[in-house]
Amino acid sequence: MTIKALGYAAQHSFSRLKPMEFEREEAGAHEVQIDVLYCGVCHSDVHQAENDWANTVYPCVPGHEVVGRVAAVGAGVTLHKVGDLVGVGCMIDSCRSCEPCHAHEEQYCEGPNSWLATYNGPMVPAAKAPDGRNMYGRDNTYGGYSNVVVVKEDFVLKIPASLPIEAAAPILCAGVTTFSPMKHWGVKAGDKIGVLGFGGLGEMALKIARALGAEVTMFTTTEEKIAEATKLGAKGVLESDTEALKSLARTFDFILSTVPEKHKADPFIPTLKRNGTFVAVGELGPMPGYNNQEVIMHRRSLAGSLIGSIAETQEILDFCAKHQIAPDVEVIPIQDINKAYKKVKSGDVRFRYVIDMASLKQEMAEA
């Protein structure tokens, strides 16, 4: 059995997102049907819709920062009930049998199709899978820019009641993507942390690191953003200020780069302490060369990290609720999505667009 759904989709890499009707499978025994209330707009939505990674399956319905209310549950569901406020992040399933899955790190799933992304199907499509199969039986999942999603219950997160609903959405990707590496590399109270890039991820990184008790320096590109950093309790430094960078030699325990494009680590490596790590989470393509002398001399590392596990996503939702931190969002109707994409591309958004899915009703009335 299927249910009717309505979403916004890109039909081609060059086309604007437009309304699209489609069908979803009804919730199975261990699945939850969720009425979408809000969905965050992630920079990667733009990359995916425009096929920047050359792996987009069309039509493409983006959206992996989904907050909604449970509308129906399968017969075997025990974790959620109708009416619960819940969230869905980047993943909706994984192979459940590989070593990372057993270690509760589904985001590194090594199954033949890796994890099942909330939109754009499994991370490894059949054509690239070792045996040419697709264990999920789905080529192209449709994401949260829609009125309804159906998700396996153990990939559904609980949204704490004390979080503003619309602000909870970006925690599901931007929040956990910055929290997971901080947790993995052991960021703790008293540590000195550098953050590169002051967009949706950078803002969450700042707030989470501060709540962990760390001292945060934001590296950014404008005086305006430095003022913004100061307001949020961080120190701001212009990336281009070589004197300031020099004075920060061997300062940071950890640097998180959220920059979503090719960028040099070299100016920042000398600001790491001995054993310090520079983790780039934003750029999924080539990084430029670097001076290994600065890496060797203080046993530094360059690393990467991918979103975060389901357990870490719940942890950071609860952490944000406890510490009363949430991303700064601008709520938009879905009809403004193409305008919003332009601003995301130019870096003009401060800090995260979140779609109010009630705006879809207008399309439904028209349909």
Kindly write out the interface string for residues 88-127 of this chain, putting x where it contacts a second copy by CB under 8 A and - elsewhere.
-----------xx----x--x-x-----------------
Stretch that binds a second copy, among 30-38, 137-145, 194-202, 302-310 (CB under 8 A): 302-310
Task: Give yes or no for residue 186 binding a second copy (CB under 8 A).
Answer: no
- Among 72, 99, 70, 96, residue whose Cα is nearest residue 83: 70
Task: Give yes or no for residue 54 binding a second copy (CB under 8 A).
Answer: no
303, 311, 364, 367: residue in contact with a second copy (rule CB under 8 A) = 303
- The torsion region of residue 297 among left (phi > 0), alpha (psi -120 to 50) and beta comes to alpha
Residues 202 and 255: their CA atoms lie apart, in Å, by: 11
Tokens of 215: 């001292």
The amino acid occupying position 216 is V
- Among 78, 77, 65, 99, residue whose Cα is nearest residue 28: 77
| Closest separation in Å from C-beta 303 to a second copy | 4
Stretch that binds a second copy, among 87-95, 238-246, 289-297, 318-326 (CB under 8 A): 289-297
Residue carrying structure tokens 């994401």: 143
94, 113, 118, 305: residue in contact with a second copy (rule CB under 8 A) = 305
Task: Give yes or no for residue 292 binding a second copy (CB under 8 A).
Answer: yes
**DSSP conformation class of 78:** -
Task: Give yes or no for residue 299 binding a second copy (CB under 8 A).
Answer: yes
Stretch that binds a second copy, among 21-29, 166-174, 287-295, 355-363 (CB under 8 A): 287-295
| Helix (H) / strand (E) containing 102 | helix 99-102
71, 72, 129, 302: residue in contact with a second copy (rule CB under 8 A) = 302
Closer to a second copy by Cβ: residue 37 or 117: 117
Residues 330 and 51: their CA atoms lie apart, in Å, by: 25
Residues 220 and 241: their CA atoms lie apart, in Å, by: 10
Q: Which residues bind a second copy (CB under 8 A)?
A: 99-100, 105, 108, 110, 184, 250, 274, 277, 280-281, 283-293, 295-306
